Amino acid sequence: MPLDLDYVRSQFPALRTGVAFFDNAGGSQVLREVAERVADYMLTTSVQTGASYDLSREAGERVAEARATLSRLVNARRPEEIVLGSSTTVLMRFLATAMASRFQPGDEVVLTVFDHESNIGPWLTLESRGVVFKFWSVDRDSFEVDLAELDALMTERTKLVCVTHASNILGTIMPIAEIARRVHAAGAELCVDGVAYAPHRAIDVQALDVDYYVFSFYKTYGPHFAMLYGKYDRLLELDGLYHYFYGREKVPFKLEPGNTNYELAWGSAGIVHYLDRLGGGTGDFAAVARAFDDVAAQEEALSERLLGFLRERNDVRIVGRRESDRAIRVPTISFKVEGRDSAEVVRATDPLKIGIRFGDFHSRRLVEHLGLSDGNGVVRASMVHYNTVEEVDRLIGGLEAALG
């Protein structure tokens, strides 16, 4: 069934402003239920957990329930596999710190030039331990990634491979399950940044067989908050980041120094409830997957509308795949206009209540690698399922006027 857009849009109060939000890869709009849950927690159960009195026990139960609900979002085997934190960048820093002691001089980590810096910079801090870094690249002309290059980079010293699930510039979906198979065959672990993928497609960490998977809720219809999935056995092996009496076995709490944010955890669970309703209300991962099937169909139509316009222009270079196929890309569409500064193009659409953006979006290594840094980087329009074809047509009209 087609997505019920009237229902979908009614769940996001900010859409009433008339702004066409096309900067969703920078931050999506927030579900009403999420905001209401945050407020409710703060106004009714804002006490410290762990005490014996009733309200403290209720608060603790709410946080535990939220973690269990969020584990269903990614089909984790158990709630303890979910580590909560303030952002993907922070959680990656935590993970790199908790993993550092296992690395020996000469051990190797494979990074990419096409990731957001949050899945590059934290790992480079291990250089002081003698870790050797190798970079997996992307073709400058076709924007394609070669799995054979990954195979060639890995050796018996490779301990970790870090890769994005979808590029926040190219929009390309990476074959994570196949990458995981190759990485594990080489005896290494896999860490995936899912920030640019999570708002668009279902994440089944069991089917993907990833070791670690991280993304932020503020780009997935929630608050400025994030989660890290880790296989339980992998999390047990990590060093603790909390007080000394939080032992190695105290997963996931040893990786949440200072405790997690209770109200944001409770609020973020509203994302899962929303997806469950879209997917039939069965209260399981299957409902989440069904919801994202409908989301993907809506997003493919939006992508085709914009890509079709961009493909027809001889003065525009689409930075990424030119096809709208939901299996190969998310609706994050970047482009460069010949002879035009990207900032100039974007600012021409600002008065039309259209929110697009220019720059490198913290994927600076990729933009530099592609030779697109000059002229304020690329123009990016990033759509999600609550956007409409009519909004895309507004954007196209604004771009036509700006480009002439």
CA angle 396, 340, 373 (to 5 degrees): 110
What residue ranges of the chain are covered by domains with CATH 3.40.640.10? 34-276
The architecture that CATH gives domain 34-276 is 3-Layer(aba) Sandwich (3.40)
Distances (CA, A) of 7 to 35, 277, 296, 375, 382: 17, 10, 17, 40, 21
Tens of pLDDT, residue by residue over 302-318, are: 999 999 999 999 999 99
- Dist. CA 352–CA 332, nearest whole Å: 20
Q: pLDDT (tens digit, 0 to 9) for every residue of the chain, 404 residues total?
A: 689 999 999 999 999 999 999 999 999 999 999 999 999 999 999 999 999 999 999 999 999 999 999 999 999 999 999 999 999 999 999 999 999 999 999 999 999 999 999 999 999 999 999 999 999 999 999 999 999 999 999 999 999 999 999 999 999 999 999 999 999 999 999 999 999 999 999 999 999 999 999 999 999 999 999 999 999 999 999 999 999 999 999 999 999 999 999 999 999 999 999 999 999 999 999 999 999 999 999 999 999 999 999 999 999 999 999 999 999 999 999 999 999 999 999 999 999 999 999 999 999 999 999 999 999 999 999 999 999 999 999 999 999 999 98
Tens of pLDDT, residue by residue over 24-54, are: 999 999 999 999 999 999 999 999 999 999 9
Strand ranges of the sheet holding 357-359, from the earlier edge strand across to the other edge: 316-319, 332-337, 378-382, 357-359
Tokens of 99: 């993993």
H helix and E strand count, the chain: 14, 13
- Given this model, what pLDDT does residue 1 score? 66
The neighbouring-strand residues paired with 161 are: 110, 190
What residue ranges of the chain are covered by domains with CATH 3.90.1150.10? 5-31+285-399
Tokens of 48: 């410290």
Of 230, 259, 261, which Cα lies nearest the Cα of 246? 259
Q: Residue 6: how many CB atoms within 10 A of its CB?
A: 7
* Ramachandran angles phi, psi of 116, nearest 5°: -65, 150
CATH (residue range 5-31+285-399): 3.90.1150.10
